[in-house]
Amino acid sequence: MKNHPELAEQFNTDEARVNWHDETLWWVRTKRDRMSHALPEWEQLRESASQIKNNVLSNLSDYLIQFESNAKANGIIVHWAADANEHNAIVLSLLRQQGATQMVKSKSMLTEECHLNEYLEQNNIDVVDSDLGERVVQLAKEPPSHIVLPCIHKKKEEIGELFHEHLGTPKGNADPQFLTHAARLHLREKFLTRKVALTGVNFAIADTGEFVVCTNEGNADMGAHLADVHIASMGIEKIIPQRKHLGVFLRILARSATGQPVTTYSSHFKKPREGKAIHIILVDNGRSIHLGRPDFRNALKCIRCGACMNTCPVYRRSGGHSYHTAIAGPIGSILAPNLDMKKYADLPFASTLCGSCSNVCPVKIDIHDQLFKWRQVIVKEGYATSGKKVGMKVMNSVLSHPSLYRTSGKIGRWIMNHFPSVVNNKLNPWFRQREMPEPPKESFREWYQKNKKR
Amino acid sequence: MKVALFIPCYVDQFYPQVGIATLELLTKLGVEVTYPLQQTCCGQPMANSGFAHLTPNCDSLFIKNFSDFDYIVCPSGSCTLHIKEHLHDEIRPDEALSIRKKIYELTEFLTDILKVKNLTASFPHKVGLHQSCHGQRGLHLSQMTELTAPPFSKPERLLRMVDGLQLIELDRKDECCGFGGTFCVTEEAVSVKMGKDRITDHTKHEAEFITGGDMSCLMHLEGILRRQHSHVRVKHIAEILNAQ
Ligand code: SF4
C-alpha cells in the first residue's frame, strides 16, 4: 500500500487541483476565523470545552454506566461493542430481526472507521448514505476525504457527471442547486421506504440518557423519524456529563467546523415513539487502549469538527485520501497509530509541526505535540526505515563531536563547491525542485576566529 | 551581562553572514557577546525525526558550552524552541533547566531584554515577513491568527524601526512555508508546493525581499526562488536590522 508521501505526490501531479483544494479549505478556515473572532469569550469557551472533556475522560466508565442506565430507563436499548466487528455484527442482527435488506444512514465517522458499509454489502444489505456529501462519495465508490465535508475533493462538474450516471440528471449540468434538488428527490424515496435508519451521535448526555445528532441537512431526522428502528452508533468518548454542557459544545462545534453559529439541526433524541425502537451501540474499538496512553489520551476529546484539517497546510495540499485512513488530517494522524502503529507509521511524519491545528482545536488537543511524541514512539518500536536509522546515528555522532562536525562541514562545503553534481542530482529530493544553498568559503566559526580572536 | 551566541549548525556552515550580522547588531547595541567555539547543534533534526533518544550527547555538549552565561541568544526561533522544550540531562538536570530558561531567540532578546526602542538601520526595500511557525506559535514572537486575542509582533515592531523599509501585507499572515526539517525531503512534493505558495503570496504583493527569523525556512524558499530564476531574495532579519 502507498504511504502518505507517495499519495501526496500523486495528488500534486495536478497543481491546479491542489490550488483549488487549498483555497476551498482555506475559505472554510477564514469563515471559522470570522465567527470565532466575533466572540470575545471564544478562548474561554475552548478552555471550558477542554476541561469538560478532561473530566469526562477521567471518569469515563462512571459516565458510561450512568448513561446506560438513564437511556434504558427512557426505553432505549443499549448495546456494547468492543470493536468494529462486534459493532457491525450488532447492526446486521438488528436489520435481520426486522427482516430488512435496506438501510438509510446519516453521517457517522464511526461507521467509516468500522467499515460498516462494506460489511453490510457483503451481507446483501443495501445501504444508502443520506448525507449529500457522503452519498456523492458512495456513488463514486470512494471513502470520504474529510470528516465534515466528505466530498470536498470533488469538483461540481465531477459531481454532475456522477449524478448523470447514477441518478439520470442531464449530462453536463453542474449547477449545485439543481444537483442538490435531484439528490433530494432521490433520497426522499429512500427515506420513505426504509424501515431501519442509522445515525451517528455527536453528544450523549450521561445525566439524562439523551443523545444529540448535529446535521445541516436534517437527513438524520428524516431517516430516524420515518423508520421503525433507529440505530445510533457512538464512540464511547462522545459522552458529556450534563445537558447544560451542550451550551458550550453546540456553540463551538459549528463555528469551528464551517463558520456557522450553530448546525442547522441539533436534534435531541430521548425516547422512542409508540411502536418504534431506538438502539444505541456504544463502541470501544481501541479507545480504552488509547485512554491508557498518558501522552495521547486527550486525543479522545475530539468532537470531529474538522477545523484541524481545514487549517492544516499539508492536508490542504495532499488531500484527505493521502492519509489512507477513515479520519484524515492532523487528528487522524494522532488517532490512527493507536489502532495500527505499523500501517500508520507514516502519518505522524506527514506534518511540519507548525502547530496551527492545536490553535484551532475547539477542545484544545495538543495535536502537534502528540505528532512529535508519536514519532518518538514509532521509532522506538522499530517502525522507522533502516536508512533513516543509519543516517540519524551518523548525524548524531557528527553533531556530538565538535571537531568531527567541523571537519565534515568543511569537507561537505568543499565537495559542494568543487563537485556540485554530488548533491545536485535527481537522487537528492531537495534538488528536484529546489537549488542547494551556495556553500560559502568559510564557516561562521572560521570567520569568528579570524576576526574576533584577541 | 554575559551573553553567548548560539549559531545553529546550518547557519554556521551555509549562512555565516547571518551569524556575523547577529554578532555585529548585538555589539552595536552595547552587548558583549562570546561565541563558544565548541558548539555544534541543538539536536532538533534528530528529535523531530523521532530519534530524540539519540540526543543526550548533543544535549550534554550544549550544556557544557553554554551553562556559564547569563543569556544565550540565537538567530533561530526553531532551534531556540527546541532547546527550551527539550534540553535535558540526567546528570545535570538543573543546569539543563536553567539553560532552557535563559535562551532567547534574537528578536525576543532585542524586544524583551534589551528593550530596543530604535535602531540605526536602513533598508529601502519592499519586504515581506515570513513568520516561522516555531518562532511564532512556539515562542509566541507574534500573535497567531487562529486565536481570538489582541495582535502584536516582535519582529514586525523591529522591522518598523528600519529606515526606508516598507513592510508588505500578506494574504495569509502566518501560513507555514513547508520546510519542516526532514519533512522537506521525506514529503518533498507537499513541502515544495507549500514553499511555492508561500512565495506567491509574497510576490503577489510585490516583495523584493522575504525575511524571517529562521534561516531554515528561508533556505527552503531561497532554493525554490533560485530554481524559478526569481529576482526576489531572502534575507535573515538580523541582516536587515543590521543593514546600513
Ligand atoms: S482534533 Fe480538534 S480541531 Fe481536529 S477535528 Fe477534533 S476537535 Fe476538531
A185 domain residue, yes or no: yes
Average pLDDT, chain A: 92
Shared domain for B149 and B231, answered yes or no, is: yes
Kindly list the residues from chain A whose CB atom is less than 8 angstroms away from the CB atom of residue B175: 313
What lies within 8 Å, CB to CB, of B16 at 6+ separation is A440, A442, A443, A444, A446, A447
Residue A176 in domain: yes
The arithmetic mean of pLDDT across residues A152-170, rounded, is 93
A274/A199 Cα distance (integer angstroms): 20
Cα A196 from Cα A94, distance rounded (Å) = 9
Q: Which residue has the higher pLDDT, A185 or A410?
A: A185
Given a cut of 90, whether residue A428 has pLDDT beyond it is: no
| Residue A398: predicted pLDDT | 61
Nearest CA in chain A to B57: A400
Q: What is the pLDDT of residues A357-366, one digit of tens each?
A: 999 999 999 9
Provide mean pLDDT across the span B48-52: 80
Does the residue A146 lie in any domain?
Answer: yes
Distance CA B193, CA B176 (A): 11
Cross-chain Cβ contact B192/A402 below 8 Å: no
Closest to A53 measured CA to CA, from A400, A362, A423:
A362
Among B62, B89, B113, where does a domain finish? B113
**Number of structural domains in chain A:** 2
Same-domain pairing of B108 and B169:
no
pLDDT surpassing 70 at residue A397: no
- Domain residues for A439? 401-451
- Please indicate whether, in this complex, the C-beta atoms of A356 and B137 are within 8 angstroms of each other: yes
The verdict on A18 touching B (C-beta cutoff 8 Å) is: yes
Task: Tell me if B159 is assigned to some domain.
Answer: yes
Q: Which of A28, A203, A361, A370 has the most ligand 1 atoms within 8 A of CB, as the residue to mutate? A: A361
Q: Do B70 and B134 lie in a common domain?
A: no
Task: Judge whether A284 lies within some domain.
Answer: yes
Domain boundary among A256, A288, A320: A288
User: With pLDDT > 90 as the criterion, what percentage of chain B qualifies?
Assistant: 73
What pLDDT does residue B86 have? 86
Instruction: Encode burial over A141-155: b for 16+ CB neighbours within 10 A, e otherwise.
Output: eebbbbbbbbbbbbe
- Does one domain contain both B131 and B212? yes
B118, part of any domain: no
Whether A173 shows a pLDDT value over 60: the answer reads: yes
Q: Which residues of A touch B47 (CB under 8 A)?
A: 372, 376
The model carries a pTM of 0.93
Does B43 share its domain with B94? yes
What would the pLDDT profile of B122-151 be if each residue is shown by its tens digit? 999 999 999 999 999 999 999 999 999 999
A:296-325 residues touching chain B, CB 8 A cutoff: 311, 313-314, 317-318
CA-based nearest distance A313→chain B, Å = 7
Domain assignment of residue B209, yes or no: yes
Is residue B24 one of the residues assigned to a domain?
yes
- Confidence label for A69 from pLDDT (cuts 50, 70 and 90): very high
**B32 within some domain:** yes
What pLDDT shows up at residue A394?
61
Q: Is the Cβ atom of A307 under 6 angstroms away from ligand 1?
A: yes
Residues B109 and B130 in one domain: no
Provide, as residue numbers in chain B, all residues whose Cβ is less than 8 Å from the Cβ of A347.
none
Provide, as residue numbers in chain B, all residues whose Cβ is less than 8 Å from the Cβ of A396.
Answer: 46, 51, 54-55, 57-58
In chain A, residues 35-94 whose CB comes closer than 8 Å to chain B: 36-37, 39-40, 42-43
Average pLDDT over residues A160-172: 93
- Report CA dihedral (B93, B98, B100, B102) to the nearest 10 degrees: -170
Q: Which 127-156 residues of chain A touch chain B by CB within 8 A?
A: none
Residues B89 and B13 reside in one and the same domain: yes
Task: Indicate whether B12 and B56 sit together in one domain.
Answer: yes
- The pLDDT value given to residue A415: 66
**Residue B17 located in a structural domain:** yes
If asked whether residues B70 and B169 sit together in one domain, one would say: no
For residues A141 and A263, state if they share a domain: yes
Given a cut of 80, whether residue A387 has pLDDT beyond it is no
Residue B69 lies in a domain: yes
Residue B121 lies in a domain: no
Does residue A338 fall inside a structural domain?
Answer: no
Q: What are phi and psi of B116, to 5 degrees?
A: -65, 130
- Pairwise CB contact (< 8 Å): B53 & A380: yes
Q: Is A326 in contact with A286 (CB distance < 8 Å)? A: no
C-alpha B112 – ligand 1 centre gap (Å)? 34
Q: Degrees (nearest 5) of the Cα angle A282, A287, A290?
A: 165
Residue of A301, A352, A354 whose CA lies nearest to A331: A301
| Percent of chain A at pLDDT exceeding 70 | 91
Answer yes or no: do B89 and B147 share one domain.
Answer: no
User: A258, A288, A318 — which closes off a domain?
Assistant: A288
- Answer yes or no: do A412 and A273 share one domain: no
B65 and B109: one domain? Answer: yes
A233 DSSP β-pair partners: A281
Q: What is the pLDDT of residues A284-321, one digit of tens each?
A: 999 999 999 999 999 999 999 999 999 999 999 999 99
How long, in residues, is chain B?
A: 244
Question: Residue A14 corresponds to which cell in the numbers above?
Answer: 495536478
Rounded average pLDDT over A48-77: 98
Domain's final residue, options A260, A288, A316: A288
Per-residue pLDDT tens for B64-85?
888 889 999 999 998 999 989 8
Q: Assign B141 to helix, strand or coil.
A: coil
Give the structural domain span for B237. 126-241
Q: Residues B25, B100: one domain?
A: yes
Query: Domain holding B225: CATH number?
Result: 3.40.50
What domain count does chain B have? 2
Backbone angles phi, psi at A248, to 5 degrees: -85, -50
Cell numbers for A105, please give them: 444512514
